[in-house]
Structure formats: structure tokens, C-alpha cells
Amino acid sequence: MTNRFLDLCVPGVANLKPYIPGKPVSELERELAISDTIKLASNENPLGPPRSAKAVIHGQLDDLALYPDGSGFALSRALAEKHNVLPACITLGNGSNDVLDMIGRTFLGPGKEAIFSEYAFAVYPIVTQAVGATAQVARARDYGHDLEAMLELVNDSTRVIFIANPNNPTGTWLAKNNLQGFLSEVPRNIIVVIDEAYIEYVQEDQYPDASQWLSDFDNLIVTRTFSKAYGLAALRVGYCLSHPDVANLLNRVRQPFNVNSLAQAAALAALDDEQHIRMSVENNVQGLTLYETAFREMGLDWIPSVGNFITVNLGRNASEIDRAMLTRGVITRPVANYGMPDHLRITVGLPKENERCIGTLKEVLAS
């Protein structure tokens, strides 16, 4: 049935394909009448939230009737200190998704273009199209970003380039010299967004923290999140680092109280909890190795990943395999919506969860 209001909405929205999140565990268990389900579908931290963050949330409960600090004063200051920038360089978001949306609303619109890569994060096309801008999609190379192909798409209408490093859902990454070279070739009137949602997990020497280039490139925006390694996805808090003039514009479209008080307090506490990050990274390194070993043994190709997930080529329709795994209580993520119908993305879980996922995958592939 066609939507009666389709003709009334703005053209970008009419053609928009919404982001489809993984099903919550509770809903799936109800639907399939199963229990003891594990979720390895949304790149969440299997260790859970840091204890430090849980503790400070309790202290906020008596103030729930009050609006949160709209400027995020304490959190912004702490983040500025961590990154050695001025607080005026920070823009807080209701998740980094919110920041990506603000970037779209600030710099994109009808007649303007955004460049991103094939297989890049699904939110980039959404924030581009929602404001009526045009997406220019660069062909990937070995599932990773091809920076030369991206540069070739630059024209007078280009306003924003989105790069996820590492990328989701492929886990691929760009080395320091390549990314720095790219930044120096992009005209300075184009905003380059480097999305570092998974930076804490990366163990490569040549992997760059792009925030080191903020003073060299005033058109650079670096986005970060507390949803992944920091284990606070439910609270929705992320941020970006940029030149203060860019942050000033982003903050004009930011909703006044976009980051709630529980999220601000928890993020502030989590920021100091280096041990939680260390344990999360350790678990992840072991988990990635476990999956790689299993895939090799099973004769499956996978995309080498530096994130907290790994995407494997099943050589057949992955959605069917995913469905069969669901009935056995293992939730993973088929990525057909990214143009990868034979690939399955698996989030690294706890050792027991990884073992169970691999066992279930073997079982389903054999049946």
C-alpha cells in the first residue's frame, strides 16, 4: 500500500530507506519462544558498561525532574582535556549518530553532494538524503575505502566526505600516511568527517588517531562514541572534535538538551576507566583470533578486521543462515543492505559466546 502522505514529504525523505536495527533480544525470544539467546549483532561491548559509570548514574536519579546541562560543561571540558583541544572544539551528540546528522543539516542540502564509500556505514546515506543532498558513492577496493576513487568524485558541489576508520561493516582501516595524504589533497572548503567509532579497539602501528591533524586541517571533523568500547550504547552519547568555527555552526542546529544527564555523568566516569577499555580490548583481540582460526578451518573467507566484529563470506545467502542461527538463539548481522548478501557480520562476544556462535554456524552450514 502506498503511503498517503508520500507526496507531501520532502523529496529526500520520500526515497529514504530507514536504518533497520537488529531485533532486541527480548522480542526475538518472545517471537521464537526461546531463551538463553546471545546477541552478537550490534557491536556492543560484551563486558557491559564500566562499573564506574553505573555507580554515578544512581547519583543522578534525584535530579531527573531537571533538564540536563545543555552545554555539557563538565563532559566537554574533560573531553577537551583528553584530546588536548579547547572545549570550543567539542560538539556533544545523542550518540555520534546525532553528530553525523548535525553535520548533514549544517553543511548539506539540495544541490550539494556528500561522498562516501561503497560498504560504508549506513548512517551516511541517511543523513545525506534526509536533507535532500546527493550521495556520491565511491567504489571500494578489497572492501575498504579507495581514497583515490573518493577524490575523483570531488566537484564544486561537494560539501562533505564521510570516512569511517575503521569502517563498519567491513572492519577495514586506513593507514596514517594514506589518510594524511588524502586530507592534504581535499580542497579546504570541503568538510572531511573521520568517524572513529572503533578507535579504542585498533591495534595497528600505522593506524592514525585523526584528531592529531585538527590543527593542520580546519575542515576536519573527528567523531567518537561511548557506544562501542566504552559500553554505553543505551545511553546514547557521542561527540565530535573540530575547529571551533565548525563546532559553532554544529551547535546552532544541535537540540538544546540532546545529551541527557545520566549519559553525561556516565560518560564522564567512563572516560577515566582505562581498565575497562584495556579489558575490552584484550577480550576483543582473543575473540578475533578465535574467529579467524575457526573460519580458516572451515574454509571460509573473511575480511580482516581491526574492529570489535568480523565479517565473513559464507559463499551463500547469509540471511538464510542468519535465520537458522536465530532459531538456535544466536543473533548475528546479515549485511545484504550493504550490498553484501553472502556476508555475515559477527560482533566479538565473550569467549563462551564466541565458541557457541562458531559451533552454531558450523551446525547450520552443515545442515
Ligand X SMILES: *Cc1c(COP(=O)(O)O)cnc(C)c1O
96 is a contact residue toward ligand X (CB under 6 A):
yes
- Return the residue of 135, 149, 233, 365 that touches ligand X, per CB under 6 A: 233
| Full DSSP string of 241-264 | E--HHHHHHHHHHS-TT-S-HHHH
Cα 294 from Cα 359, distance rounded (Å): 9
What angle do the packed helices 244-253 and 96-107 form, to 10 degrees? 100
Residues touching ligand X, count (CB under 6 A):
14
Nearest approach, Cβ of 91 to ligand X (angstroms)? Answer: 13
- Return the residue of 158, 225, 242, 261 that touches ligand X, per CB under 6 A: 225
197 is a contact residue toward ligand X (CB under 6 A):
yes
For residue 303, what are the β-bridge partners?
311
Residue closest to ligand X when measured from CB atoms: 95
Q: Which three cell numbers stand for residue 292?
A: 579467524
At residue 297, what are phi and psi to the nearest 5 degrees? -60, -35
240 is a contact residue toward ligand X (CB under 6 A):
no
Within 8 A by CB and 6+ apart from 7, the residues are 14
Nearest approach, Cβ of 22 to ligand X (angstroms)? Answer: 12
- Give which of 182, 176, 236 is closest to 49, Cα–Cα: 236
Please identify, using beta-carbon distances, which residue of 162 and 302 lies nearer to ligand X.
162
Please identify, using beta-carbon distances, which residue of 151 and 233 lies nearer to ligand X.
233
Please identify, using beta-carbon distances, which residue of 235 and 294 lies nearer to ligand X.
235
Helix/strand/coil for 39:
strand
- Return the residue of 49, 72, 238, 349 that touches ligand X, per CB under 6 A: 238
Cα 82 from Cα 62, distance rounded (Å): 29
- Residues in 111-170 at the binding interface with ligand X, rule: CB under 6 A: 121, 164, 168
From the list 9-17, 109-117, 179-187, 223-231, the region that binds ligand X by CB under 6 A is: 223-231
Cα 266 from Cα 258, distance rounded (Å): 15
- Residues in 38-77 at the binding interface with ligand X, rule: CB under 6 A: 43
Site residues (CB under 6 A) for ligand X?
43, 95-97, 121, 164, 168, 195, 197, 225, 227-228, 233, 238
